[in-house]
Structure 1
Amino acid sequence: MIRMGELDQRVTIQAETETPDGRGGYTKGWSAVATVWARVRPLSGRERQNAQQTEASVSYGVVIRRRTDVTTACRLIWNGKVMNIRFVGEAGTRDPWLSLECEAGVPV
């Protein structure tokens, strides 16, 4: 059970957008959908070698108030970190919370 006081971090939810480039194509970017209160907790971290470089990634558990517009196609910004949403937990339509598993330190 989560108490309101535990939502003590601000996160920005972003969705990918396509803007016409004037030449018949599109430029992809990200736009803010909402800035909401969240509980953010680190779950795990790892390092791996890729193309002779070390990549470090961290998984986070994030809880926000239930929203219907958050999917794995979105991403979160928290304390300047870009976090990809890897999993959206569906607990039922009456649950007031939405649980997300996010990963920082990896390309989108």
Structure 2
Amino acid sequence: MARVRAGKLDRRITIEKPIKEADASGQKITSWQQHCRTWAAIMPLTGSEQLKDNRQVSEDVRWIITVRYNTLNSQVAADMRIQHAGRTLSIQSAIDVDDRHEQIEITALERK
């Protein structure tokens, strides 16, 4: 796969990781902490709707996000999420394209 040109990485995204902690009553809660901010190419791939009684109950959009390979980006995992332009995207997978340590392709899901 061809290397992504810097001009294509024109969207700023925040990758967050889950932090599991206990609240005052001892209940386990998940909060989110910034893992890194990076430039990315982001493109919607597919969408689907779920209907119940002829009413839309949810809409899923699958995204492909490409970032440059670096130490922090190489640690992206499926339990993380991406914040971008008011959207929250759940990471499904992160692949080192061609195992060349040049770019990472992330597949993420947005639930509306």
Tell me the TM-score range normalised by the shorter chain. Answer: 0.7 to 0.9
- Looking at secondary structure, tell me which structure has more helix per residue: 2
Q: Distance in 2 between matches of 1:65 and 1:87?
A: 15
Which runs of 5 or more residues in structure 1 are unaligned? Answer: none
Partner of 1:88: 94
- Quote the offset at 1:27 in angstroms: 2.1
Q: Distance in 1 between matches of 2:107 and 2:14?
A: 15
Which runs of 5 or more residues in structure 2 are unaligned? Answer: none
Q: Distance in 2 between matches of 1:24 and 1:56?
A: 34
- Quote the offset at 1:12 in angstroms: 0.5
Q: Equivalent residues in 2 for 1:41-52 (5 A)?
A: 41-50=43-52
Q: CA RMSD in A?
A: 1.9
Identity of aligned residues (%): 23
Q: Distance in 1 between matches of 2:13 and 2:95?
A: 17
Q: Greater CA deviation, 45-54 or 24-33?
A: 45-54
**Cα–Cα, structure 1 residues 53 and 85, in superposed 2: closer, same or farther, change >3 Å?**
same
TM-score using structure 1 length: 0.85
TM-score using structure 2 length: 0.83
Q: Is the 8 A contact 2:90 2:108 kept in 1?
A: yes
Q: Equivalent residues in 2 for 1:56-95 (5 A)?
A: 56-66=59-69, 67-95=73-101
Aligned residues: 106
2:13 to 11, 14, 22: 11
